Structure 1
Amino acid sequence: MSERVAGAPGERPDEGRNREELLRKYDAESAYRTNLGPWKWVVLVIGSALTIFQLYTALRGGYVFLIQGAIHVGAAMSLVYLLYPAKRAWSSRRGIPFYDLILAGLAIWTNSYIVINYERLTNQSVIFGFSTLDYTVAGLGVLLVLEATRRCVGLPIVVIAACALLYGWLGPYMPIFPHAGFSLERLATETFFTTSSIFGTPIQVSATFIYLFLFFGVLLVKTNIGQFFNDLAFALTGRYTGGTAKAAVVASGLQGTISGSSVANTVTSGSFTIPMMKRAGFRPEFSAAAEASASTGGQIMPPIMGAAAFIMAEYTGVPYNEIIVIAIIPAILYFTGVFTGTHFVAKRDGIVGVPRDQLPPVGGLLKKIYLALPLVVIIGMLLSGFSPQNSALYGIATAFLVSFLRSDTRMSLPEMGRLLENGARAALPVIAACATAGIIAGIVTKTGLGGVLAGGILDLALGNFFLLMFFTMIACLVLGMGLPTTANYVVTATVAAPILVQFDVPLIAAHFFVFYFGIVADITPPVCLAAYAGAGIAGANPMRTGVTAVSLAIAAFIIPYIFVTEPVLVLEGATFLNFAPAFLTAVAGMIAISGGIMGYFMGRANVVERLALVAGGIALVYPNLIVSLSGLALVVAIGVFQYLRGASGGKPEESTA
C-alpha cells in the first residue's frame, strides 16, 4: 500500500460541531446555564468565596471535619442549583427560576445549620436526642445533595444512592441480605450529621486535597500554560510514523496530569487532535478511539489521577506521595499499549508523520520550558515528603507567578476574579460525586452489606482466584458505566477491594485493580461516554468507536491482572532483581498483544500470526519465568518470520482490525 502523506485530504472534519455542545451532550458536568443574567454576580461571589476559603484553610489549617465539610458542601450545592438547571434542555434559558434560588438558599441553610449547631448536634444529642427541626434539616439536606448530584453528575449514581438508603431503611423486609434496618429519623441524622456518610472520607479529602489540585489544573488551562504540553507532545512525536495519533496520546497523557475527567479531556484535546488524525489518513473511528483511550488513561496519570488517588491514600493508609510513585508503572504500561497500537495501525495503513514545518519549533518550546515549572514544583515537593496541601499551594503560587512572564499567559484583574469562580465550577461535580458516594459507602459499612456481597462473590467464584478477579472486574465495569471515577472508586473500594484482600492480594494492588476497571468503563461499550464524545467530533459511529477504543486500550484490561499476580509492579516487595524482569516482560507483552490486535508487528500479520502474537504476549505477562520465556520465543519467532518474509517480498494474508 502506498503511504499517505500527512495532511492529505481525507474526510472533512465536522467543523460545525461545537465543543461546548459536545460536552453538554456527553458530560453532565458541563451542562450548566449559559445565561445567568444578573445572578452571575452571585455565582461569582459564592464561587470566589469557596475558592478563597479552600486556599485559606489549606494555608492556615482546616476546621473539624464536619464543619469543614459543611462549608465545602453547602457552598458547592448552592452553586449547583444556581448553575445547573433541572433539565439539560433548559441550560440556554436566561436567568435562574425562583425555585432554584430557593433550593440554593436551602442548601446554604441546611449546611450552615451544622456549623451553627455543631456542639449540640455532635455532643448534646447523644444525651438529649434530636429535635423535630434537626430531623427536618437532615432529611432535607440529604435530598438536596441527591438532587444536586443528579443535575451535575447524572442519574445513575443517584439511583444507586437512593437504593442504598432504601436498603438501610427497609433492611428487615429485604428478600436478600436482610439486616436490622434504621428508622427514617436515624437514617437521616446518620447520613447528614456524622462523618461516616455524606461528610465521610471522600468529602473530607475533597475539602482538603482535591479542590486545590483541581484549582491548579484550572489555573494552568486559563493561563494557557496547559497549551505548552500539547505543543511539546507534537514537537516530540509529530514527525514520526502516525505522528498525529502518537502526539494525541502523549498530549492526552500530559493533560491527564492536570485533568480528572476522561470526557472533558477527550473533547478538549480531541477538538484539535481528531481532525488532524483524520487529515493524516486515520479512519474516523480510530481517530476518535485513539483520543478517547488516551484521554481515559489520563485519569491514571499522576499526580491528580481523577482525584481518586487522594481517597485511595486515605483508604489504604499509603501516603499520597507514595501512591503517585506506585502509579507510574501501571501508567507506563497503559500508555505503552495505546502508543504502540497507534504505531502499528499507522504502519499497517501507511500513514506517515507531519512535515517538520507544520510542527511547533523545538527551539521555541525550549525557550518556554519554564512553563512546566509549576508541575515540576508539585511533583518534586510531593516526592520530597511535603503534604499534598503544601505541594498544591506552592504549585498554584508558582503557576500564578510564571503566568506573568509572558503576555499570552498573563491574566488581567477581571480574569483573576473569574479564575476563582472557575476553580469552584470545576470542583462542583467532584464534590457532588464525593458526597453521594459517601452515602453509598456509609450504608455499605453500617449495614454490613460489604461483607455479605464479598461472601456472595466468593461463593460464585467457587474459590477460584481468577474467577474472583473476573467477577470483580465485571462489577467495576458495570458500576463505572454510571458513576464518575471518584464515586466509582469509593464504591468499589468499599465493596470489591476487600474481596481481593481476602485472597492475600496486597492492599494497594487490590485498590489499583478496582480503580483501573472503574476508569476503563468510560471506553467500554455500551456506555462509553468518552468514546461517544470522540465520535461526535470525528463524525464516526459511536459504538464502533467504543469497540475500537477497547481494542486500542486492551492493555488496560490486562494490566490490573498483572499487578495482582505480580505485585512487584506496584512496588510491593520490589527489588531490582524481581522488578526488572517483571517490568520488561510486561512491556514486551503489551507490545506483542497490541501487535496481534492491530494486525501488524514487523509486517502485516495474518490471522494465525495475530493469534500467536496475542498468545505470546499473554505468556510474557504471566508470572512464571518459563512461561514468559516461551512467550518471548514465540513473539521473536513471529517477528523474525515477518521480517524475512518482508525482505523476500512475500505478502501476508489481508487482516483487519
Structure 2
Amino acid sequence: MNEEKNLKKEVKEIDFDEIIAKYDRESAYRKLAGFPGRFIAVIAILFSLFHLYTAFVGVLPAQIQRSIHLTFALVLAYLLYPAKKDMPRNKLHWSDIILAALGAIVGLYISFNYEALIYRAGEQTTLDIIVACTAILLVLEATRRVVGLPIVIIASTFLLYAKFGPYMPGFLNHRGYSIARIASHMYYTTEGILGIPIGVSSTFIFLFILFGAFLEKTGIGKFFIDLANSIAGKAVGGPAKVSVLSSALTGTISGSSVANTVGTGSFTIPLMKSLGYKPEFAAAVEAAASTGGQIMPPIMGAAAFLMVEFIGVPYITIAKAAVIPALLYFTGIWIMVDLEARKTGLKGLKAEQLPKFKTVMLQRGYLLLPIVGIVYFLVNGATPIKAALYGIIISVLAGAVRKETRLNLKMLLEALELGAKSALGVAIACASAGIIVGTVTLTGLGLKLGNGLVSLAGGNLLLTLIFTMITSLILGMGAPTTANYIITSTIAAPAIMKLGVPALAAHMFTFYFGIVADVTPPVALAAFAGSAIAGSNPLKTGINASKIAIAAFIIPYIFVLNPQILMIDTTALGVIQIIITSIIGMLGVGAAMEGYFFTNINTILRVVLFIVGLLCIDPGAYTDLIGIASIVAIFTYLRFKSKKAVNIASNKGESL
C-alpha cells in the first residue's frame, strides 16, 4: 500500500506538460484563456472542419487545397507559438497578431487569384513576387518557432544555393536564378512550398492525426495500458514489457516519439523504478518503445504517408512491408527487457494489482473497432483519406457504446481543436521542406548530390548506406522525422536506388533512420524526455535506448540487402520462415547486447552471438542454417554452464 502511495506521489510531482514542451517544440504552444483562447480554438476547429468537408465532398484543386491548409497553419503557428522561449505563454504579442494576419493574406492570395495566376504562369506581377517572398519568409519564421532553427538554416542554405549557383564549386555549379524566379517557383508551383509534402499533409496526414485525437478522447490510451498490463504485467520484468506493448499500441495513434514517451511513460517509468529497474534503463525502454510506434502498422508516422506519394504505391503496401521490421524491432526490445529482468532478478506485478484481460476486453474492447475499421478499408481498396474519415466516424460511434467513453459536443469540439494543433508541426515542417524540394527540382541538385554520394562511396552500396544513415542521424538532431525523411529521400534515396535497390527498400531505409534519431545520442529527444520523468542521466539514458533499439540500426541494412523482409518477391511460406528465423536471430543479438542468457556471457561468445544472430536475420537458407545451429549450440552450452553453477552452489550450501 505504501509503495502504491509513493508511486502516485512521484507521478503527481512530475510536470508532464513541461517535459513535453521542453523536448518536443511542437507541443510548446501557448495556453490562452478568455477571448484569445476561444478565438484560436475556433480557428483550430475550422481547420479540422475544412479537412473533414473536403474528405466528404472531395479534395479541392491542389493549389487551393494546399494554400488553404497553409493559411490555417501559418495563422495558428503565429498565434500559438511565441517568438522567443522566454516570452509569456498566457498572452498574445501584437507582432504575432500582425504576422498571423499576413499569413492569412498570403495564404488566401492563391485561392482568390487562382485562375489569374494560372493564366499568367511564368509572368508574375510585382505584387505576385512580393506576396511570394513574404510567404517564404513567413514559412521560415513559423518553422523556427514550431520546429526549430536547424531546418530553417538548411532551407535557407538551399535558397542561397538557388541564387548563387554560378559561384558554387565543381558539380554543384549551376547558372543561378533571379529572386523573382526563385520566389515564383517556390510559391506558385506544386514543386515548392505547395509541393508533395504539404499536399500529403493537407490530405492523408491531417486526417490521421485528427483520427488519433478522436481516439484519445475516447480514452483508448488508458485502455491500451490496461490491456498491456493484463497481458504482460505478471511476466518477468512485467512493467517494462507493459511499456513495450502499450507504447507499440499507442504509437499507432501518436505521431510523436516524445509525446508517446511522456504519455505512456508517465505510468510505466515510475512503476519500473519502483520494482527495481535502474532509472536509465526504465527511461530507455520507454523511449525506445515509444519511438518504434512510428514504424508500427497499421497507422505509422506521418512520413509513411509521404512515401505513398514519393514512390507511387498504395499505403497498404507500405504498411504491409513494415510488418516484419516492426515485429523484429519490438521483439528485440522485449528480449532485451526480459534478459535484463532475469539478470537482475526483477519480478512482475502481483495478480491482484492487475486488471483481468477478459474484463478489459469485455468492458472496452470495442475501442479497437476504429483501428480494425481503418485496416479493413485500406485492405479493401479505400484511399487513405476515406479510410481515415471512416475511422473518425467509427471512433465516435464506438465511443457512444458506453457512457464513460461517449463523446459529448464539448469533447467533439476539443477533439477537433486538438487534432488541428497536433497537425501544426507536420504542416509547417512540410512547408519548409518544400523549399528544399523546390530547390532540388529547380536546380537539378538531387541528381547531382545522388551522383556525388555514389561517387564518394566509390559505387559501394554498403558505404552509400552508411553515409545515408549518418546524414539521417545528424538531421534528426534538429529536424522532425517528417522533414528528415523528405530531405534524405529527395537526396539519398535516389543514390541508393541507383545501385539497384528497390524504391520501397531505399525509402524505408531513410524513413527508419529518420525515426531512430530520436533515441540516438548526443541529441536523443525521446530518451531525454524519458530521462526527465525517471530523473536519470540523459546521456546514459540515450546510450541505453540506442542499445535497446539495436534492431532499428540493423534491420534497414538487412531489408536493403535482401528486400524479402519487406515482403517483396516472396511467398507466404517464405514470410513465415523469415519471421521465425529473424526472431531467433534477434534472440542471439539481444543476448549478445545484454551479455546474459541463463548466465553471464563472456566477450568472445557475445561477439559470436551477435554475428550469428545477424546471419539469422538475413533471409537466406545457408545463413539461417549456420545462424540457428550456432545459436542453439551456444545457448545449450550456456544452459549447461548455468545448471553446473547452480549445482556447485547447492553442494557448497549442503556442505556448510
Q: Do 1:225 and 1:403's aligned partners in 2 also have CA atoms closer than 8 Å?
A: no
What is the aligned-residue identity percentage?
48
Q: Does 1:212 align with 2:188?
A: no
1:22 alignment partner in structure 2: 19
Q: CA deviation at 1:649?
A: 2.3
2:134 alignment partner in structure 1: 140
The CA distance in 1 between the partners of 2:602 and 2:624, in whole Å, is 23
Give the AA of the match of 2:493: A
2:405 alignment partner in structure 1: 409
Residues 228-377 of structure 1 mapped to structure 2, 5 A cutoff = 228-367=223-362, 368-377=364-373
Q: Does 1:391 align with 2:362?
A: no
1:563 alignment partner in structure 2: 559
Give the AA of the match of 1:261: S
Give the AA of the match of 2:533: I
The CA distance in 1 between the partners of 2:143 and 2:379, in whole Å, is 34
Deviates more, 1:200-209 or 1:469-478: 469-478
1:225 alignment partner in structure 2: 220
Q: Do 2:213 and 2:416's aligned partners in 1 also have CA atoms closer than 8 Å?
A: no
Give the AA of the match of 2:319: I
Structure 2 residue corresponding to 1:500, chosen from 475, 496, 500: 496
2:461 alignment partner in structure 1: 465
Q: Do 1:252 and 1:295's aligned partners in 2 also have CA atoms closer than 8 Å?
A: yes
Q: CA deviation at 1:336?
A: 0.9
1:438 alignment partner in structure 2: 434
TM-score normalised by L of structure 1? 0.95
Deviations 1:99-130 (A, max 9, x none): 1001111101001111011111122244xx22
Q: CA deviation at 1:96?
A: 0.6
Deviations 1:483-531 (A, max 9, x none): 1111111111111111111111111111111110111000001111000
2:45 alignment partner in structure 1: 48
Q: CA deviation at 1:32?
A: 0.7
Q: CA deviation at 1:13?
A: 4.8
1:593 alignment partner in structure 2: 589
1:118 alignment partner in structure 2: 114
Q: CA deviation at 1:477?
A: 1.3
1:655 alignment partner in structure 2: none
2:143 alignment partner in structure 1: 149
Distance 1:14 1:47, change over 3 A: closer
Structure 2 residue corresponding to 1:612, chosen from 608, 611, 615: 608
Q: CA deviation at 1:361?
A: 2.1
Q: Do 1:31 and 1:91's aligned partners in 2 also have CA atoms closer than 8 Å?
A: no
Deviations 1:590-626 (A, max 9, x none): 1111111011123322223222211221232345533
Q: CA deviation at 1:8?
A: 12
Residues 541-560 of structure 1 mapped to structure 2, 5 A cutoff = 541-560=537-556
Residue aligned with 1:462, SS: coil
The CA distance in 2 between the partners of 1:52 and 1:11, in whole Å, is 39
Q: CA deviation at 1:650?
A: 5.5
Deviates more, 1:402-411 or 1:290-299: 402-411
Aligned length: 644
The CA distance in 1 between the partners of 2:647 and 2:125, in whole Å, is 82
The CA distance in 1 between the partners of 2:6 and 2:80, in whole Å, is 42
Give the AA of the match of 1:70: S
Q: CA deviation at 1:34?
A: 1.9
The CA distance in 2 between the partners of 1:9 and 1:370, in whole Å, is 33
Residue aligned with 1:111, SS: helix
Q: Do 2:459 and 2:499's aligned partners in 1 also have CA atoms closer than 8 Å?
A: no
Structure 1 residue corresponding to 2:625, chosen from 624, 629, 633: 629
Q: Do 1:12 and 1:279's aligned partners in 2 also have CA atoms closer than 8 Å?
A: no
Q: Do 1:7 and 1:280's aligned partners in 2 also have CA atoms closer than 8 Å?
A: no
The CA distance in 1 between the partners of 2:7 and 2:356, in whole Å, is 26
Give the AA of the match of 1:50: F
2:165 alignment partner in structure 1: 171
Q: CA deviation at 1:586?
A: 2.1
Give the AA of the match of 2:206: Y
Q: Do 2:564 and 2:619's aligned partners in 1 also have CA atoms closer than 8 Å?
A: no
Residue aligned with 1:107, SS: helix
Q: CA deviation at 1:559?
A: 0.2
Give the AA of the match of 2:259: A
Q: Do 1:7 and 1:279's aligned partners in 2 also have CA atoms closer than 8 Å?
A: no
Residue aligned with 2:120, SS: helix
Deviates more, 1:56-65 or 1:575-584: 575-584
The CA distance in 2 between the partners of 1:387 and 1:10, in whole Å, is 45
1:3 alignment partner in structure 2: none
1:69 alignment partner in structure 2: 66
The CA distance in 1 between the partners of 2:279 and 2:598, in whole Å, is 25
The CA distance in 1 between the partners of 2:415 and 2:422, in whole Å, is 10
1:381 alignment partner in structure 2: 377
The CA distance in 2 between the partners of 1:10 and 1:612, in whole Å, is 41
The CA distance in 2 between the partners of 1:371 and 1:429, in whole Å, is 27
Q: Do 2:493 and 2:506's aligned partners in 1 also have CA atoms closer than 8 Å?
A: yes
Give the AA of the match of 1:55: L
Residue aligned with 2:234, SS: coil
Residue aligned with 2:596, SS: coil
RMSD across aligned C-alpha pairs, in angstroms?
A: 1.9
Give the AA of the match of 1:229: F
Structure 1 residue corresponding to 2:445, chosen from 427, 445, 449: 449
Residue aligned with 1:89, SS: coil
Q: Do 2:288 and 2:545's aligned partners in 1 also have CA atoms closer than 8 Å?
A: yes
Residue aligned with 2:405, SS: coil
The CA distance in 1 between the partners of 2:562 and 2:640, in whole Å, is 35
2:652 alignment partner in structure 1: none
Structure 2 residue corresponding to 1:60, chosen from 51, 57, 60: 57
| Structure 2, unaligned runs of 5 or more | 649-656
Q: Do 2:370 and 2:395's aligned partners in 1 also have CA atoms closer than 8 Å?
A: yes
Q: CA deviation at 1:52?
A: 0.7
The CA distance in 2 between the partners of 1:619 and 1:323, in whole Å, is 25
Q: Does 1:190 align with 2:165?
A: no
TM-score normalised by L of structure 2? 0.95
Deviates more, 1:363-372 or 1:112-121: 363-372
1:426 alignment partner in structure 2: 422
Distance 1:643 1:392, change over 3 A: same
Deviations 1:380-428 (A, max 9, x none): 1111111111111111111111222222222332232222211111110
Give the AA of the match of 1:539: G
2:512 alignment partner in structure 1: 516
Residue aligned with 1:526, SS: coil
Q: Do 1:481 and 1:521's aligned partners in 2 also have CA atoms closer than 8 Å?
A: yes
The CA distance in 2 between the partners of 1:348 and 1:8, in whole Å, is 28
The CA distance in 1 between the partners of 2:64 and 2:410, in whole Å, is 31
Q: Do 1:229 and 1:254's aligned partners in 2 also have CA atoms closer than 8 Å?
A: yes
Q: Do 2:430 and 2:483's aligned partners in 1 also have CA atoms closer than 8 Å?
A: yes
Q: Does 1:483 align with 2:479?
A: yes
The CA distance in 2 between the partners of 1:242 and 1:380, in whole Å, is 35
The CA distance in 2 between the partners of 1:439 and 1:248, in whole Å, is 38
Deviates more, 1:340-349 or 1:641-650: 641-650
Residue aligned with 2:403, SS: coil
Give the AA of the match of 1:351: L
Q: Do 1:612 and 1:635's aligned partners in 2 also have CA atoms closer than 8 Å?
A: no
